[in-house]
């Protein structure tokens, strides 16, 4: 019997799960937006225990979210060994529901391996990826491309939840000192002179040319208008554009 993805869109919203697995491995911006979605989930399903699978590079960010109860760090650089290690960790628990908010082959494989009666994925997932899910989250209305936040909000609406995004996103303090080159440590270290000085960090990289944004300089100047004593850092793995005066710029460690 073949599975018709359209039929899954007509199913009534499920009861609140007690144990939710979120699969979102990368990238930084999408993880931040997914965190905002899951923050809304935690507010509306307060009794739900949330586990998150994420690439080890981004694990400290997800661990800083007070509403995420457990983080499984996927060691991508370990190859198949890292993937199998992650799958073993996933299968140690039973989940009421899995949300694959990523939609690529590795996250789909992790979703397929999870012990859960409900495995949700994006309707845009095709081929072998689509076989991992038994419920599909619809794509947003209107012509593509769609903003990642709009795509992720479809998980909320499919679950029968309010799609309002809570702002701000509260995070526990994250220590960066051990991950920085020596040249950057003095800039990020808190001392008596800088404790009250706001720090803004902008990640200027993008995975695709059509996602590049040319508004970093204007945003930086706007920050200085509103926060004259602030510090601004532009970070990226790719060559950075010349920053405006007073703005530190450099590659990520």
Pairing between β-strand 49-55 and β-strand 19-23 as defined by DSSP bridges? parallel
- pTM, entire model: 0.80
Residues 52 and 150 in one domain: yes
Residues 104 and 217 in one domain: no
Residues 26 and 139 in one domain: yes
Following CA atoms 133, 137, 139, 141 in sequence, which dihedral angle do they give, to the nearest 10 degrees?
160
**Confidence (pLDDT) at 246:** 62
* CATH of residue 153: 3.40.50.2000
Is 186's pLDDT higher than 80? no
Pick the more confident residue, 105 or 236: 105
Residues 92 and 209 in one domain: no
What are the pLDDT digits (tens) for 90-117? 999 999 999 999 989 999 999 999 999 9
Residues 96 and 139 in one domain: yes
What is the pLDDT confidence band of residue 6, given thresholds at 50, 70 and 90? very low
**Confidence (pLDDT) at 201:** 82
Pick the more confident residue, 22 or 165: 22
Domain count of the fold of the chain: 2
Q: Is residue 165 part of a domain?
A: no
Q: Is residue 113 part of a domain?
A: yes
Task: Indicate the residue among 158, 191, 210 that finishes a domain.
Answer: 158
Q: Is residue 83 part of a domain?
A: yes
Helix axes 80-90, 105-113, angle to 10 degrees: 40
User: What is the rounded CA–CA span in Å between residue 110 and residue 155?
Assistant: 18
**Is the bond into 247 cis (omega within 30 degrees of 0)?**
no
For residue 149, what are the domain limits?
Answer: 5-158
- Contact yes or no for 112/91 (Cβ under 8 A): no
Mean pLDDT for the chain?
83
Residues 141 and 23 in one domain: yes
Residues 41 and 103 in one domain: yes
Please name the residue ranges forming H helices in 24-90. 28-44, 59-63, 80-90
Of 109, 110, 145, 106, which Cα lies nearest the Cα of 124?
145
Residues 188 and 241 in one domain: yes
Please name the residue ranges forming H helices in the chain. 5-8, 28-44, 59-63, 80-90, 105-113, 148-158, 185-188, 216-226
Is 174's pLDDT higher than 70? yes
Residues 13 and 127 in one domain: yes
Q: How far is CA 116 from the centre of its chain?
A: 22
Handedness of CA 81, 70, 95, 23 (dihedral sign): negative
**Confidence (pLDDT) at 215:** 84
User: What is the arithmetic mean of pLDDT over 193-208?
Assistant: 72
**Confidence (pLDDT) at 195:** 57
Residues 194 and 112 in one domain: no
What contacts 171, CB < 8 A, 6 or more positions away? 61, 64, 65, 66
**Confidence (pLDDT) at 5:** 45
Residues 145 and 195 in one domain: no
* Token digits of residue 104: 């690529």
**Confidence (pLDDT) at 38:** 97
What are the pLDDT digits (tens) for 26-83? 988 899 999 999 999 999 999 999 999 999 999 999 999 999 999 999 999 999 999 9
Pick the more confident residue, 115 or 248: 115
Pick the more confident residue, 240 or 111: 111
* Token digits of residue 144: 């593509």
């Amino acid at each position: 019997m073949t599975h018709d993805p359209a039929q899954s869109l007509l199913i009534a919203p499920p009861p609140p799960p007690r144990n939710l697995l979120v699969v979102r491995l990368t990238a930084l911006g999408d993880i931040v937006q997914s965190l905002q979605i899951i923050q809304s989930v935690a507010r509306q399903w307060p009794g739900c225990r949330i586990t998150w699978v994420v690439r080890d590079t981004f694990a400290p960010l997800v661990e800083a979210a007070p509403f995420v109860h457990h983080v499984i760090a996927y060691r991508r650089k370990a190859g198949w060994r890292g993937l199998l290690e992650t799958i073993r960790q996933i299968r140690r628990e039973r989940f009421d529901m899995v949300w694959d908010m990523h939609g690529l082959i590795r996250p789909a494989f992790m979703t397929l391996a999870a012990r859960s009666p409900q495995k949700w994925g994006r309707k845009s997932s095709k081929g072998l990826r689509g076989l991992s899910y038994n419920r599909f989250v619809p794509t947003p209305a209107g012509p593509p491309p769609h903003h990642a936040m709009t795509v992720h909000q479809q998980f909320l609406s499919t679950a029968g939840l309010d799609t309002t995004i809570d702002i701000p996103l509260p995070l526990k303090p994250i220590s960066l000192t051990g991950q920085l080159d020596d040249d950057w440590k003095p800039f990020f270290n808190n001392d008596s002179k800088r404790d009250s000085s706001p720090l803004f960090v902008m990640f200027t990289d993008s995975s695709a040319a059509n996602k590049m944004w040319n508004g970093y300089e204007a945003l930086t100047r706007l920050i200085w208008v509103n926060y004259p004593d602030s510090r601004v850092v532009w970070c990226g793995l790719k060559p950075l554009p010349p920053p405006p005066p007073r703005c530190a710029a450099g590659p990520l460690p």
